[in-house]
Amino acid sequence: MDIMKSKNLVQVLYYILLVSTCLCFKAYALDYDYSYTAECLKNPLKPQYNGGIVVNSELNDGLNGWSLAGGAKIGNKVSSDGNKFIVASERKGSYHGFSQTFQLDRDKFYVISGWVQVNHGDDTSIAVIFKTQSGFQHAAWVNAKSGCWSMFKGGLANASGPAQLYFETNNTSIDIWGDSISVQPFSQEEWESHQNQSIEKVRKSKVAIQVVDSQGKPLPNATISVEQRRADFSFGVTINKNILNNNAYQNWFFSRFKVTVFEDEMKWYSTEATQGNVNYSTADAMVELCKSKGVAVRGHNILWDDPNHQPTWVPALSPQQLSVAADKRVESVVAKYKGEIFHWDVINENLHFNFFESKLGPNASTHFFRLASQFDNTTLFLNDFFTIEKTYEISAPANYLKKIKQLRKEGYGGPLGIGLQGHFSLPIPPYIRSALDMLASAKLPIWITELDVTNTTNQVIFLDQIIKEVVSHPAVEGVLIWSAWKRYGCYRMCLTDKNFNNLPTGDVVDKTRVTLSHEGLVGITNAEGYFETSLFHGDYKAIVAHPSVPKSFQYNFTVTPNGGSDHVKSLSYKFTTA
């Protein structure tokens, strides 16, 4: 640390106390339960929230509260070790079985969880559905097995009046078993309190900075300006090649963000439009520009499993030719940018599509993950859509977790991450949070990689709502907004007009950025020489000025997580000015 001089010698001691945050929020009756168990268990766990508004959640009171939906037989059974559960057998239709009806409030969010089992077979896909006045709403999906209990978790919003909960699977020969079923309502105030509490607990630590003179006397009224140099939590925006020769675009972007991803410029169809003519010039220029500005670049993407997004010459290749070409592509792009980018989306959208699997066999994705890991040890990501945005079966959290297990089983053991694109229309906050809870059970990095909201009347409100939800979730490590600028319109959502004046969506993103970075944070020490605040984890520079010191001086410090502990950590800094 530099020693700065003035006419009078003053010693200033700084004590930074990093303590687990204990900020006070309005006390609500119920905390949110982020837990989810991916393991198939011999017996189900206790219902979350003691079942919430479900009557007879643990089936200890016969069939009280439960009724028949459609043509089936329902009954109460007891396992050999005394666990009671409900069974739907002799089902005549996909949705026939046991059900329960609730009175819902449109202003509330509902978290749904429970445990199911089937009488034979493995990986039976079961939908958890509510029949409401406005139609059918899928709340969760679960892959049920025989011989053990599988947990489901999901969410419901924008529903009012009577709603019938039931369980659906197309195989009517399957008996569905259920237990520990919970439906828990939360007010929007409670929901926001969970977000605030999570941010303070997981993302931030309380910091106390004391300024004293050489005799240890506190210096009140010292001004402390805090600047974030590096953030643990990443928040950025997509860019494209338009930034290369556009000073206004560069000024807008680089004055705001330290992390980005390229919209198209690293994709195979951009770098090898004709076979054998590999051209990285545009991507190279963008990488160099970002490096010169201290902006980290995320790798997107090596391959794409959608048949409609291949280089035009690829679909006509034979399987053998495709194998050679794809392997060359993996080696070429990963080796070239080793050490210059972080993360790689290896084979984009392979939950929805199977171009490479259809040509090269069912283990194609695993092969490309293993191959990419030979050229760079950065974290390799799956990346898909409609896992948190919509309640679709093909990309449901349970099937995302299944894909992860497949990669591991087939031999990829390297660093792995979960990429969630986040292309939203109508967000369902309890489903988003529940989906993230489920994916967090894999204990892998989770990034929101392409967040945008379709241009509707409520676009700005929804964007703000979604950002708050994902930034506050303990398992999410970074968020990238998908809004690379084009003169005649962005992919789905622009942040600025053509003159780089913020649109309302840009204001939402700026508000989040300022909050996460503490931009403009200035504090004044109190009578005891202390300035106390709560800071997001990361590296900081503090600039201190006091009337008794002719020149301001600065020092660097790091705010680290405390793991929820009440243990106080102290760091001491001694500075001499002369």
Would you please indicate which residues are annotated as catalytic (active-site) residues? 349, 450
Measured CA angle at 254 (ends 250, 259), to 5 deg? 125
Lookup: tokens for 427: 């967000």
CA dihedral 337, 485, 271, 369 (to 10 degrees): 50
Residue 110 DSSP SS3: strand
Cis peptide before 251 (omega within 30 of 0): no
Residue 442 tokens read as: 């894999």
Q: DSSP string covering 496-560, please?
A: B-TT-PBPHHHHHHHHHHHHHHTTTEEEE--TTSEEEEEEESEEEEEEEEETTEEEEEEEEEEE-
With beta carbons less than 8 A apart as the criterion, state whether 489 and 451 touch.
no
Note whether 295 and 316 are within 8 A (CB): no
| DSSP state letter for 379 | P
Nearest to 184 by CA among 194, 174, 197: 194
DSSP states along 136-158: EEEEEEEEE-SSSBEEEEEEE-S
Which residues are CB-contacts of 323 (< 8 A; sequence separation ≥ 6)? Answer: 360
Residue identified by tokens 């004055």 is 255
CB 451 within 8 A of CB 419: no
Helix (H, G, I), strand (E, B) or coil at 68: strand
Query: Across-strand partners of 88?
Result: 74, 176
Q: What is the DSSP letter of 175?
A: P
Q: Cβ contacts of residue 130 below 8 Å, gap of 6+?
A: 136, 137, 139, 156, 159, 163, 164, 165
* Contact between 151 and 113 (Cβ < 8 Å): yes
Residue 401 in contact with residue 38, Cβ under 8 Å? yes
Contact of 98 with 64, CB cutoff 8 Å: no
What's the chain's length in residues? 578
For 296, counting Cβ atoms within 10 Å of its Cβ (0-12 exposed, 13-18 middle, 19+ buried), the class is middle
Written in H, E and C, the secondary structure of 31-63 is: CCCCCCCCCCECCCCCCHHHHECCCCCCCCCCC
Are the C-beta atoms of 226 and 522 separated by less than 8 Å? yes
How many CA atoms lie within 13 Å of 19's alpha carbon, on the beta-carbon side? 13
Which helix (H) or strand (E) element contains residue 436?
A: helix 429-440
Distance from C-alpha of 217 to C-alpha of 238, rounded to nearest angstrom:
50
